[in-house]
Chains A and B, each alone.
Chain A
Amino acid sequence: MTKTALQFRHNGRDVALFVDGGVNLLVALRELIGDMTPKFGCGQGGCGACSVLIDGELHLSCLTLAETVNGRAVETLDGLKDGPNLHPLQRAFMEQFAAQCGYCTPGMLMAAKALLDRNPSPSRAEVIEAISGNICRCTGYEPIINAVLAAASGGRARA
Chain B
Amino acid sequence: MLELRKDIFADERDDNLKEIGRGTQRQDMLGHVTGTSTYFDDHKLQGMLHLKVLRSPHAHARLRRIDTMEAERSPGVRRIIRGADVPRNLNTLLSLINFGKDDEPSLAVDKVRYKGEPIVAIVADSPREAYEAMAKVRVDYEPLPAVFDVEEALKPGAPVVNETYPKNTFVYHDVYDHQKLRFGDVERGFAEADHVLEQRYQMSPIEHAPTETNGSIAAPDTNGRYVVYTSTQALFFSLDTCAKILDVPSNTFHFIGGTVGGGFGGKVDTLTEPLAILGAMLTGRPVRYQLGREEEMQFGSPRGAERIYIKDGVMRDGRIVARKIRAYFDSGAYTRLSSYAVVKCVAHLPGPYTIPNVHGDVYCVFTNRTPATAMRGFGVTAMDFALECQMDKLAHLVGIDPMEFRILNAYRDGDMKAHRREAKNTALIECVQVAAEKAKWPLREEVKRMSSRKDGGGSRAAISPTPIEPAPQRAAVSQQRTIYDRAPAATIQPAPPTPTPPPPRPPAPSPSHGATRFSSVFGTRRR
Residue numbers of A with Cβ under 8 A of B are: 22, 30-31, 34, 36-37, 39-44, 46-47, 49, 76-78, 80-81, 86, 90, 93-94, 97, 99-106, 109, 135-138
Contacts and interface: CB of A to CB of B under 8 A. Distances in A.
A74 B479 CA distance: 58
Contact of B28 (A46, A80, A102, A135): A102
Interface string B201-227: 000000011111100000000000000
A102 B260 CA distance: 8
A103 B212 contact: yes
Interface string B452-477: 00000000000000000000000000
A31 B33 contact: no
B33 A94 contact: yes
15 contacts: A30-B44, A39-B211, A39-B212, A39-B261, A41-B211, A41-B213, A42-B293, A76-B35, A94-B29, A99-B32, A102-B31, A102-B32, A102-B261, A103-B262, A105-B35
B176 interface: no
A100 B30 CA distance: 12
Contacts of A97: 23, 26, 29
A11 to B, nearest CB: 11
A137 B35 contact: no
A137 B33 contact: no
Tell me which of B211, B213, B259, B262 has the highest count of chain A C-beta atoms within 10 A of its own C-beta: B211
A119 B264 CA distance: 35
Contacts of A105: 32-33, 35
B35 A36 contact: yes
Given A36-B42, A39-B39, A39-B261, A90 B212 contact: no
Given A101-B260, A101-B261, A77 B211 contact: no
B523 interface: no
B493 interface: no
Contacts of B213: 40-41
B37 interface: yes
Interface of B: 23, 25-26, 28-39, 41-42, 44, 128, 208-213, 259-264, 290, 292-293
A41 B293 contact: yes
Given A37-B35, A94-B25, 9 more contacts: A41-B293, A77-B34, A86-B34, A93-B29, A93-B32, A94-B33, A105-B35, A137-B209, A137-B264
Contacts of A36: 35, 38, 42, 44
Given A46-B293, A102-B28, A40 B41 contact: yes
Given A86-B33, A94-B25, A101-B261, A47 B211 contact: yes
Contacts of B212: 39-41, 49, 101, 103
Nearest to A147: B33
A80 B212 CA distance: 22
Contacts of B292: 43
Nearest to A40: B41
B35 A104 contact: no
B262 A78 contact: no
A55 B269 CA distance: 42
A37 to B, nearest CB: 3
B207 to A, nearest CB: 10
Contacts of B264: 137
* Residue of B32, B33, B36, B38 with most partner-chain A CB within 10 A: B33
Contacts of B25: 94
B441 to A, nearest CB: 25
B367 to A, nearest CB: 26
Contacts of B261: 39, 101-103
Given A86-B34, A137-B262, A103 B211 contact: yes
B43 to A, nearest CB: 9
Nearest to A87: B33
Contacts of B260: 101
B211 A135 contact: yes
A40 B23 CA distance: 31
Contacts of A104: 211
Contacts of B33: 86, 90, 93-94, 99, 105, 109
A14 to B, nearest CB: 21
B293 A94 contact: no
B211 A90 contact: no
A73 B23 CA distance: 39
Contacts of A34: 44
Contacts of B35: 36-37, 76-78, 105-106
Nearest to B41: A40
B307 to A, nearest CB: 27
A47 B261 CA distance: 13
Contacts of B128: 22
B42 A101 contact: no
Contacts of A42: 293
Which of B35, B39, B212, B213 has most chain A Cβ within 10 Å?
Answer: B35
A103 B39 contact: yes
A90 B293 contact: no
Residue with the greatest number of chain A CB neighbours at <10 A, chosen from B37, B128, B208, B261 = B261
A137 B267 CA distance: 14
A138 B29 CA distance: 15
Contacts of B31: 102
Contacts of A81: 34
A37 B42 CA distance: 9
A18 B62 CA distance: 46
A138 B262 contact: yes
Contact of A31 (B34, B44, B259): B44
A125 B32 CA distance: 25
B509 to A, nearest CB: 40
Nearest to A110: B35
Contacts of A31: 44
B135 to A, nearest CB: 16
Contacts of A99: 26, 29, 32-33
Given A43-B293, A78-B35, A102-B261, A94 B30 contact: yes
Contacts of A137: 208-211, 262, 264
A100 to B, nearest CB: 8
A101 B262 contact: yes
A138 B32 CA distance: 14
